[in-house]
Amino acid sequence: MKNGIHPVNYRFVVFQDMSNGQSFMSKSTAPSKDSIKWEDGKDYPLIKLEISNTSHPFYTGKMKLVDTAGRVDKFMNRYKDHVGKKK
C-alpha cells in the first residue's frame, strides 16, 4: 500500500437506518452535522442511512415492490384497451 493516501482521522460514528430506526456504531471519516446520544451516554456524530442490512430485502427475505416512477400505472393507462379483452 502507498503511504499517505489513506485518512488518519477515524472516529466513532453512529449509523442509523431511517426506514426502521436500527442503529450501529463503527469507525468512519464521513462528515456529519447531526449527533446522537449513544447507549454509553456519550454524544457521537450521526450518519443517516436510507437502507441497511436490517431493512434491505436481500438480507431480510421480505421482497416488496417499490414503484416510485408509477410504471405500473403508466402501463395500465397505455394498454387499457387491450387489458381484459379476450380473443
Convert the pLDDT of each residue in 55-64 to its tens digit.
777 767 776 5
Which cell numbers in the block locate residue 87? Answer: 380473443
Residue 45 in any domain: the answer is yes
Q: Cβ–Cβ contacts within 10 Å for residue 13, how many?
A: 20
Residue 73 in any domain: the answer is yes
- The CA distance from 77 to 81, in Å, is 9
Residue 85 in any domain: the answer is no
Residue 59 in any domain: the answer is yes
Beta carbons of 72 and 79 less than 8 angstroms apart:
no
Residue holding cell 457521537?
A: 44
Q: Hey, is 35 helix, strand or coil? A: strand
Residue 83 in any domain: the answer is no
Residue 35 in any domain: the answer is yes
Domain count of the fold of the chain: 1
- Structural domain for 35, as ranges: 11-78
- The CA distance from 17 to 81, in Å, is 43
Is pTM beyond 0.85 here? no
Residue 31, pLDDT score: 93
**Under-70 pLDDT residues of the chain:** 59, 63-70, 83-87
